[in-house]
Structure formats: C-alpha cells, structure tokens
Amino acid sequence: MSSSFRVIQSTGKWYKVSSPDGEIIECRLPGKFRLEKKEVTNPVAVGDYVELEIGKDGTGSITEIKHRENYVPRQATHGRRGEQILVANIDKAWVVQSVSQPKLNTGFIDRFLVTCEAYEVQAGIVFNKMDLAKKRDQNLIDHLSELYRNIGYDVLSTSIHDQKSVEKLTDQLSGKTSVFIGPSGAGKTSLLNAVDPDLDMRVGEVSSRTNKGKHTTTYARLVPLKNGGYIVDTPGIREFGMVNIEKSELSLFFPEMTVPRQNCKFYNCTHYHEPGCGVSEAYEEGDIDAERYSSYLNILESLD
C-alpha cells in the first residue's frame, strides 16, 4: 500500500495526491467511478491510496482505488441518498466537542462511536475549550469522562491555553494517522495549531446569534505533523447520520451491552420491550448508564 499515491486533499472535483517520494499531483476522478459507486457521494476520500495515470500537462487521472483498511462514513446530507465517506485508512478517529460555544452534544458523540465500532475504527473523545468550563460544566465533563473511559474509550480534556493538555493530545497523535471530527466552532483547527504552530491554519469564530460555529475548514485535508504522524482536518458537521446499521445489530456497537445481550431470551431482541432481555435487566440493575441506554433507544428509533 505504501507504494501507492495517497489522497491528501479533496475539493469535490479535484484531488491532491502525494507520491511515495512526496511529490504533490493534482488529479481528477473519471466519471466511471461515480457511476459504479452510486450509493456513495464521494468515491474517493482523503486517506485513500490510489493509482494514477499522469498526463502530458502533469495532472493525473485516478485509475484505481486501493482496498481500504477502514473508513468513517455518515449519511449523505442535503437530500442526497447514500453515504459520504469522511476519511479512509486511519489509525484513530477523535470526536471533538466543546464544553460550550457551541453546546456539547452527547448524541453526536454516541452516533460517532457507534459508527466507529461498526466500521472497525479506533475512537477517542476530546472535550475542548475547558477554559470556558464553569463548575456545572466541569462536573458534567468529569461524569462523561468516567463513563466513556469505563467502556473503553480514550478521553482527553483540552484547552489551547493549557499546554499540558496540548502535550497529552500531541502524544496521542504522534506517529499515527488521525482525524478530528466534530461541529464547526468546537476548536478542531485551533487545537491543530496548538499541536503544531507551523501549520498556521485559519480559524473561525462562533456565531453570537446561533451559538454555532462558522465553517472555516471547507474541505478535508491530510497534513503532516512536525512530531510525526498525520492529521485529517475536516469541515465541521452538525449532524452525524449513520448508514448501513440495522436495528437488530445496533447493540453490538455499544460495548457495555456485549455481555448482557448474551442473556436475552430472543436472538433478535431489540432491548426495548421484549421479555427476558439481558440488556434491559443490566440497565435496571445500574450496570448500563441511563444516559447511554437512552441514547441507544434514540438511535434505535432513528433507524426506522
């Protein structure tokens, strides 16, 4: 795979790819790939490995998309059908949420984690802008951090004004290909600038009217970090719709339900209303967190 070209930037019609020796080549994707993959809005994603034909003008044409080790998809937006691939071939995906401005969204976190479990992507959580945290915010972050760590996820609390937290994040990113995914305004790009000031990426602000972030990163791109490794900076997304996950398999992607679901009376139990449900029993006994169980039910309903 290392001998192939790697897609480092996607703007929709044109792609930038990096050769094994570091040369950057502008490329197009022939229409046949879009026809073959109608269920996917973007047949090629940042992180993909591809083969090229180089034209006389120095630009390339993608001739082959290599097998993906993994990828992170979401449901296509703006009324389009199918899935949108956010990034491919990564070591770890981090969901970034701010303590405030914009408001923290645990539903987004859980949908993201379910997708990563389903597509075999290692995931972690970053609670950012901790310098804005009030006491009630800190209590919430402490609770959520313990909750998610107990079910196996790495959790970091960060602020660009706290060098120790930046150093912990830097250590996690070093030597790996990682991605930051989260809403606009959560501080993804600011964090990257703190991790590697040489990147000097443009940073946006949060709208005072809507309390939501303004899009600054307009396309995904893979950038090298000075301490080793790569990071994919992605445009902010407000919704994380899941794709290709059936109601009957949803509980497979909640780690805390793995053991309890083995005690269910029915093999196709949805863990909602069926008698003899091991998951419901575990929830009632306090072995499954109430917020996570509620999130499971919300996702289950959305899959109709």
**Residue 191: pLDDT band by 50, 70, 90 thresholds?**
very high
Enumerate domains of the chain plus CATH numbers: 5-67 (2.40.50.140), 72-233 (3.40.50.300), 247-302 (1.10.40.50)
Q: What is the pLDDT of residues 272-281, one digit of tens each?
A: 989 999 999 9
Main-chain phi, psi angles of 245, to 5 degrees: -120, 120
Residue found by looking up tokens 């082959």 in the block: 64
- Alpha helix (H) ranges present in 151-227? 163-173, 188-195
For residue 285, pLDDT over 50 is answered with yes
State the pLDDT at residue 77.
73
State the pLDDT at residue 3.
54
Q: By three-state DSSP, how is residue 217 classified?
A: coil
For residue 8, pLDDT over 60 is answered with yes
The closest alpha carbon to 275, from 287, 285, 263, belongs to 263
